[in-house]
């Protein structure tokens, strides 16, 4: 079978569950893992692949399992990050968070100390470390298995990061950080009913959900810790699109100025940033 026929056959199989755009994107990732490139598809080259493995992968996709968990990796800031069921899948919205921080690097000392809270796969910490090697990066997570995956990514990408096992809700203080960034759990428990199965059935709930009666639980704690850290010059959050105003007000109440809400590529409130004149 040639590449184009294989490509179209897979898309046809996936069309019962995914829209055309998503099916094409998933199929491209799947075939790339079998060393079949977009060029092969465009030129309709003759190709070979492991039929048994491909069939198993398609079966898993048809059960709504995310392609990143099936392959064992996802892409973030043009780098490959290993993932598993203990880590959230890196997303393009979080790339925008990293891009904002890097675009504002002139606000901070050359050797700024940066803390990433709830590092997950390590995608934020690794990206900041690799894009700005002068920065000193520390990353916290509450789960040892998650930290193992973050360390694997850092080692693979040769990113210099200090990892610590920390439950931020019980952490008493943090010190000497110029920048604090976090993509904490922010999906309300009640929002599960409108979410896709590929998220609710497969991604780690510990990293996703917060109670409806205290949706800013992590933001409150992190903002409080940042105010006790006398050197903190900026705080960056990824947020629930419905809670932008509440999150920005929290920063204002804690002494941050020039607080701003930024929209993601879909036009949804997704980032809150605040600054302290130190």
Mean pLDDT score of the chain: 94
- pTM equals 0.94
Q: How far is CA 6 from CA 14, 36, 68, in A?
A: 13, 10, 20
User: Cβ of 269: how many Cβ atoms within 10 Å?
Assistant: 18
Share of the chain above pLDDT 70, in %: 100
Asked if residue 276 has pLDDT above 80, the reply is yes
* Domain residue spans of the chain: 3-63, 82-275
In CATH, 82-275 is 3.40.50.300: no
> String of b and e for 53-84 (b: at least 16 CB within 10 Å)?
ebeebbeebeeebbbbbbbebbebbebebbbb
Would the pLDDT of 206 be above 90? no
- Length of the chain counted residue by residue: 278
DSSP state of 114: E
Can you list the alpha helix ranges (DSSP code H) found in the chain? Answer: 3-14, 20-33, 38-43, 51-61, 67-71, 92-103, 123-131, 144-157, 197-200, 217-228, 244-253
Report the pLDDT value the prediction gives residue 199, as an integer from 0 to 100.
85
């Amino acid at each position: 079978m040639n590449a184009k026929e294989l490509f179209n056959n897979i898309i046809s199989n996936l069309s019962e569950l995914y829209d055309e755009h998503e099916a094409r994107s998933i199929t491209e990732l799947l075939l790339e893992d079998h060393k079949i490139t977009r060029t092969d598809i465009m030129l309709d080259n003759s190709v070979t692949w492991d039929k048994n493995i491909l069939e198993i992968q398609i079966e898993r996709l048809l059960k709504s399992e995310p392609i990143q968990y099936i392959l064992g990796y996802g892409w973030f800031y043009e780098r490959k990050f290993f993932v598993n069921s203990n880590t959230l899948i890196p997303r393009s919205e979080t790339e925008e968070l990293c891009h904002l921080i890097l675009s504002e690097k002139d606000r901070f000392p050359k050797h700024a100390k940066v803390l990433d809270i709830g590092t997950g796969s390590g995608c934020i910490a690794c990206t900041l470390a690799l894009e700005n090697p002068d920065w000193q990066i520390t990353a916290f997570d509450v789960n040892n298995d998650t930290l193992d995956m973050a360390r694997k990514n850092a080692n693979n990408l040769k990113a210099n990061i200090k990892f610590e096992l920390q439950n931020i809700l019980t952490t008493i203080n943090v010190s000497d950080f110029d920048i604090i960034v976090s993509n904490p759990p922010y999906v309300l428990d009640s929002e599960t009913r409108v979410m896709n199965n590929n998220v609710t059935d497969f991604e780690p709930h510990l990293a996703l959900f917060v109670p409806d009666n205290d949706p800013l639980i992590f933001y409150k704690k992190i903002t409080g810790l940042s105010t006790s850290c006398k050197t903190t010059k900026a705080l960056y959050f990824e947020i629930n699109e419905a809670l932008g105003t509440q999150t920005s007000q929290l920063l204002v109440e804690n002494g941050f100025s020039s607080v701003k809400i930024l929209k993601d590529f879909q036009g949804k409130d997704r980032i809150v940033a605040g600054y302290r004149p130190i």
